[in-house]
Amino acid sequence: MEQKEIIEILKNDNADELYQKAHKTRVENLGHNVYLRALIECSNVCSRNCLYCGINRENKELKRFSLSKDEIIKTAKLAKELGFKTIVLQSGENQVYDLKTMCGIIEEIKSLNLALTLSLGEKTFEEYKQYKKSGADRYLLRIETTDENLFQKMHPDGNFKNRVECLYNLKELNYETGTGILVGLPNQSIESLAKDILFFRELDADMIGLGPFIPHNKTLLKNEKAGDLELTLKVMALVRILMPNINIPATTAMETLSKNGRKKALISGANVVMPNVTPILNRENYSIYPDKKGVNALNKEELKKLYKEIEEIGDKVSGGFGTSKNFKKINK
């Protein structure tokens, strides 16, 4: 499938067939297993000023927090007790955890026999290398958009080439590498979405996370229109068809835009859900966009409801680590 065909599909209003095909592709290649990842938002301190993001450094009204190493480990242990096999450690871009501290955190989480995904932003090759040596398995770094002009507008202090390089560094270091985009950024074209999809394939990403852009009232984009759920789902379905073996989360932003966003994603190609285990007191301050509707894993009833929702669509929560089937481990 090339750019022209992808554009045609993205422009087509009737997407039911596309969603069905994506679901069939997922089931044929990965079966009915859904993998849960426990998300720990460990710090909202951020040195960047990404225009769309509510935790960007210019939001002076936000109460900043950083979990201590002990708090992170305690939360990871709790996630393990709740049955999770993977921890996702995410933060704003900061140096709150120096290299030694972060490597210590990684080692302790890995000693719990859990898979670990990091999502800490752009780091140097050496930092990624040391995290990997300490045991980190996966890294998630969305490219956000491959339209370089748009990227530069959205990230005034960012550098597109550096972000791409980070992704290739992660691949080289043999991380299970995840990337993704925001769908519906102001002035984002359908053509650029098609290029984003082709970029995922070229990178040979192991996981792709897509979210609709949701305006945050404390950012410069507060008056912009939110991204469209159907368009996000179409991009996701196409990614599934083109990359049958990768992991794709039904993202919280999808659920935030529509009550059934998660369910729709799970029957249109997604195979992962990331419930939130961040300590409740800190959670509202990790406000990348307003009204986040993620699954609160600390509420047993809510977690049970998620299991039920997954069973109702004919899937089951897997007890495995959920390593991407696309991932080719290199023994160095």
Interacting residues toward ligand SAM by CB under 6 A: 52-53, 55, 90, 92-93, 119, 121, 141-142, 144, 182, 211, 213-214, 216, 253, 288-289
As measured in angstroms, the least distance from the Cβ of 130 to ligand SAM is: 18
Q: Is the dihedral of CA 17, 21, 24, 30 positive or negative?
A: negative
As measured in angstroms, the least distance from the Cβ of 49 to ligand SAM is: 12
Q: Name the residue nearer to ligand SAM (CB basis): 178 or 269.
A: 178
Distance CA 138, CA 197 (A): 20
Question: Degrees (nearest 5) of the Cα angle 68, 69, 70?
Answer: 90
Does residue 78 contact residue 50 with C-beta atoms inside 8 Å?
no
Q: Which residues, other chains included, contact 74 with Cβ-Cβ below 8 Å and sequence gap of 6+?
A: none
Q: Is the dihedral of CA 316, 319, 320, 322 positive or negative?
A: positive
Structure tokens at 213: 């852009």
Q: Name the residue nearer to ligand SAM (CB basis): 121 or 186.
A: 121
Give me the residues paired with residue 273 across strands.
36
As measured in angstroms, the least distance from the Cβ of 106 to ligand SAM is: 16
Q: Name the residue nearer to ligand SAM (CB basis): 183 or 303.
A: 183
Per DSSP, 66 falls in state: B
Question: At 88, phi and psi to the nearest 5?
Answer: -115, 120
Return the SS3 of 93: coil
Pick left, alpha or beta for residue 163 (phi over 0 → left; psi -120 to 50 → alpha; otherwise beta).
alpha
Q: Which of 13, 80, 14, 25 is nearest to 238 (CA)?
A: 25
As measured in angstroms, the least distance from the Cβ of 36 to ligand SAM is: 19
Q: Name the residue nearer to ligand SAM (CB basis): 30 or 274.
A: 274
As measured in angstroms, the least distance from the Cβ of 103 to ligand SAM is: 18
Structure tokens at 108: 């302790």
**CB atoms near residue 107 (< 10 Å):** 14
Q: Name the residue nearer to ligand SAM (CB basis): 15 or 55.
A: 55
Q: Name the residue nearer to ligand SAM (CB basis): 226 or 317.
A: 226
As measured in angstroms, the least distance from the Cβ of 181 to ligand SAM is: 7
As measured in angstroms, the least distance from the Cβ of 244 to ligand SAM is: 24
Distance CA 285, CA 54 (A): 9
As measured in angstroms, the least distance from the Cβ of 55 to ligand SAM is: 6
Distance CA 244, CA 23 (A): 10
